[in-house]
């Protein structure tokens, strides 16, 4: 099979197991983002794909070829790291062409590839400059350019935007997505930032403690998280989790706890009936709150607002619901003052339910 394939890959350092057993198929041309908290094994996995780290067990194939024991140079990969070192004495063009010159590619070919990569990365005006005369973002693009000129089968990125300021990070996200469209190559991107994952990925791989929690499109993992870890990791501000019980009210299930009693949405009604005897965790995403009644799906909730943060189009509320801390994000008009205690509304069609013991979604 083409693309990149990991079969029961494991990694231990001495008696410490970092990746217990990981399997994943990445299609050719796909942009896959590994996301998870620091230390969950993202870089280790990427480095095993690159061949910079030996696997303890399992098999890795790239473009249908078993590369498990193939040297990095022979895997047809290009890698961009968070900390990149450009050659300070070389200008942008020479930095970008370094690998090609080392490989003794013909001069015409080198020039052409640097030209194309520079145009793609909008570095053409800077080809003659030294790294010290570039901004941080331009330097990062040169580091990317060094990989792109080589036109590998797979591009591997390990948190390449972490050192950039917020505005540049956001524009580089767009550029990377564009680059993926133009190059049409398989890309595997590692980050701890769920926004990067959501904005760039065709598919997201969410990891925790060396284990894949969920693989899916940004839409999948946001709308149907498999457990409380994924539910709270993806989405900003984070989903609020509240202890709750289920109750059958003439066939319609209700989820109730301190300060709330909400009808379970139709899509979850059967699952909720099956779980009626168990303790439940209710998940409420902040963005599904509203400051005004918006329709029959919206249930009233009385909130004590501790802090209201003005974001512009909305306000983030750190509030108290029946003695528990919750977060709400409500849209407000330009004339609105900061929100205070009162009745708010929640879209009950957007309710999430999890088994309290296992954290698994119902």
Number of residues that bind ligand ADP (CB under 6 A): 11
Nearer to Mg ion, 40 or 92 (CB): 40
Measured from the Cβ of residue 346, the count of other Cβ atoms closer than 10 Å reads: 23
Binding partner at 274 among ligand ADP, Mg ion, none, C-beta below 5 to 8 Å by kind: none
Stretches 31-39, 74-82, 135-143, 224-232: which one binds ligand ADP (CB under 6 A)?
A: 31-39
In the complex, least distance from residue 9 CB atom to Mg ion, rounded to whole angstroms: 17
In whole angstroms, how close is the CB of 213 to ligand ADP at the nearest point? 13
DSSP string, 177-200: HHHHHHH--EEEEEES-HHHHHHH
DSSP assignment of 240-255:
EEEEEEEEEETTEEEE
Query: Strand 31-35 vs strand 203-208: parallel, antiparallel, or unpaired?
Result: parallel
38 binding ligand ADP? (CB under 6 A)? yes
Bridge partner list, 327 = 318
- Confirm if 225 and 214 have CB atoms less than 8 A apart: yes
**CA atoms within 13 Å, Cβ hemisphere of 187:** 29
Structural tokens at position 205:
């791989």
Q: Which does 272 bind (CB under 5 to 8 A by kind): ligand ADP, Mg ion, none?
A: none
160 belongs to the binding site for ligand ADP (CB under 6 A): no
Question: Which lies closer to ligand ADP via its Cβ, residue 16 or residue 85?
Answer: 16
The nearest distance, CB 32 to ligand ADP, in angstroms, is 15
**Sites for ligand ADP among residues 342-361 (CB under 6 A):** none
Residue (of 232, 241, 219, 209) closest to 324 by Cα position: 241
**x/- string (CB under 5 A) for Mg ion, residues 21-60?**
----------------------x-----------------
* Smallest separation, CB 58 to ligand ADP (Å): 16
Residue 15 is a binding residue for ligand ADP (CB under 6 A): no
Nearest to 159 by CA among 19, 37, 21: 37
Residue 44 touches ligand ADP, criterion: CB under 6 A: yes
**Which of 212, 257, 256 is CA-nearest to residue 233?**
212
Q: Which of 3, 41, 216, 218 binds ligand ADP (CB under 6 A)?
A: 41
Residue 221 C-beta: closest distance to ligand ADP, Å = 17
Report whether 254 contacts 262 (CB < 8 A). Answer: yes
**Which of Mg ion, ligand ADP, none binds 40 (CB below 5-8 Å, type-dependent)?**
ligand ADP
Nearer to Mg ion, 27 or 163 (CB): 163
Q: In what order do the strands lie in the sheet with 77-80?
A: 77-80, 154-158, 186-191, 31-35, 203-208, 211-216
DSSP state, 239? P
Binding site for Mg ion (CB under 5 A): 43
Binding site for ligand ADP (CB under 6 A): 13, 16, 18, 36, 38-44
């Amino acid at each position: 099979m083409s693309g990149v394939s990991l079969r029961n890959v494991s990694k231990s350092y001495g008696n410490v197991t970092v990746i217990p057993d990981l399997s994943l198929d990445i299609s050719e041309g796909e942009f896959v983002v590994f996301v998870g908290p620091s230390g969950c094994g993202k870089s280790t996995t990427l480095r095993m794909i690159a061949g910079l780290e030996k696997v303890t067990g399992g098999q890795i194939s790239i473009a249908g070829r078993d590369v498990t024991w193939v040297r990095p140079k022979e895997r047809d990969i290009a890698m961009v790291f968070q900390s990149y070192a450009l050659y300070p004495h070389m200008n942008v063009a020479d930095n970008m062409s370094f690998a090609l010159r080392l490989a003794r590619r013909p001069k015409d070919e080198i020039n052409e590839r640097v030209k194309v990569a520079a145009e793609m990365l909008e570095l053409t005006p800077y080809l003659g400059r030294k790294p010290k005369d570039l901004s941080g973002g331009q330097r990062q693009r040169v580091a990317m350019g060094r990989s792109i000129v080589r036109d590998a089968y797979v591009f591997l990125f390990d948190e390449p935007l972490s050192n950039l300021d917020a505005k540049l990070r956001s524009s580089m996200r767009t550029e990377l997505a564009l680059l993926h469209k133009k190059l049409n190559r398989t890309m595997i991107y590692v980050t701890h930032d769920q926004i990067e994952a959501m904005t760039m990925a065709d598919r997201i791989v969410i990891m925790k403690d060396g284990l894949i929690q969920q693989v899916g499109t940004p839409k999948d993992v946001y709308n149907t998280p498999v457990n409380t870890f994924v539910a709270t990791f993806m989405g900003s501000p984070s989903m609020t989790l509240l202890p709750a019980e289920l109750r059958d009210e003439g066939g319609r299930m209700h989820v109730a706890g301190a300060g709330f009693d909400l009808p379970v949405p139709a899509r979850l009604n059967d699952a909720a009936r099956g779980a009626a005897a168990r303790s439940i965790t209710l998940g409420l995403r902040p963005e599904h709150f509203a400051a005004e009644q918006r329709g029959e799906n919206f249930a009233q909730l009385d909130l004590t607002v501790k802090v209201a943060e003005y974001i512009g189009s909305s306000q983030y509320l750190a509030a108290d619901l029946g003695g528990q801390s919750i977060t709400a994000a409500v849209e407000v008009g330009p004339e609105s003052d900061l929100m205070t205690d009162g009745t708010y509304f929640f879209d009950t069609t957007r309710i999430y339910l999890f088994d309290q013991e296992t954290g698994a979604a119902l």
